[in-house]
Chain A
Amino acid sequence: MKKIFPPAVHLAVLAVWLIVALYLIFLYAPREATMGEVQRIFYIHFSSACTALLAYFFVFLGSMGYLWKRSRRADDFAYASAEVGFIFCSAVLVTGPLWAKPAWGIWWTWDARLTSTFILWLLYIAYLMLRSYVINPGRVEVLAAVVGVIGFVDAVIDYMAIRWWRTQHPQPVLGGGSGSGLDPRMWLTVFVTWGAFLCLFFYLVRQRMAMAEARRELAELRRELAA
């Protein structure tokens, strides 16, 4: 991966992609008829939400990989996805109320979608707190992997909430059936922005995984020196 797509190239692609996304958001996408300019929050809100959900899916996959094969790489991937996913989930919880206030007249409501997203954010915190309290280094990975697997139930509920229940949150835009569509220019903006956010996510995850590798190498060297 490092040879095919070095971090510097990844960063350059990311920078261009983000600039294109910002151009589409502010200069290309049409102004929404009822909400006006504030609807442009949708592009970062939606992209952050999809990335945060996908990140938890990666936490689940990495955790399963660790529990099944005891793969260090899978554990690193789960840990990195959780840390970066937490950042994206925080972005969702910041942009949501900032859009809700002018659109609904309220900052927050405890409907199924908003509540399950908040729980997802708490799950990310729980996972990261567990990782930082290294009481027994061999055991913490297993405990975190169990949290990663069980917590995935909430990610599924979060995704399905607007399909299963009537919520204050709007019905799905993506895969929501007929009548849930967007203007084609808005679709293009959504996909380019989400692509840019995914590119950012993977850049941060690979940086975080490289850090985990360096930390392990450092621990081994310290052990060698102490011996």
Chain B
Amino acid sequence: MVNTFLFLAYSVVWVIFVVYAWTLSRRHARLRKELEDLKARVSKPSKP
């Protein structure tokens, strides 16, 4: 029973860290993509 607590504590903490790191990297990647798209639109010469 005691080892269940140990297992739960470590599992939950790693899940918290991994999920946060993953959402952070996804948010960052989305922003970077949006930024690149916008930069491409700005630098692209407009058609007459």
| Residue positions of B touching A, CB distance < 8 A | 1-3, 5-6, 8-10, 12-13, 16-17, 20-21, 24-25, 27-28, 31-32, 34-35, 38-39, 41-42
Q: Which residues of A contact B42 (CB under 8 A)?
A: 221, 224-225
Q: How far is the CB of A100 from chain B (nearest CB, A)?
A: 10
A contact set with B: CB distance below 8 Å: 36-38, 40-41, 44-45, 48, 84, 87, 90-91, 94-95, 98-99, 101-102, 200, 204, 207-208, 210-211, 214-215, 217-218, 221-222, 224-225
Nearest opposing residue in chain A for B24, CB measure:
A207
Q: List 26 A-B contacts (CB under 8 A).
A: A38-B2, A41-B9, A44-B9, A45-B9, A84-B20, A90-B16, A91-B12, A91-B16, A91-B17, A94-B12, A98-B8, A98-B12, A99-B5, A102-B1, A200-B17, A207-B21, A207-B24, A207-B25, A207-B28, A211-B27, A211-B31, A214-B31, A217-B35, A221-B38, A222-B38, A224-B42
A-B contacts, CB under 8 A, total: 77
Q: Is the CB of A99 within 8 A of B38?
A: no
- Inter-chain contact A38/B3, CB cutoff 8 Å: yes
Instruction: Specify which chain A residues have a CB less than 8 angstroms from the CB of B35 in the assembled complex.
Output: 214, 217-218, 221
A210 to B28, CA, bound (A): 8
B interface SS class:
helix
Find B24's partner among A41, A45, A204, A221 (CB 8 Å cutoff): A204
- CB contacts (< 8 Å) of B8 on chain A: these are 98
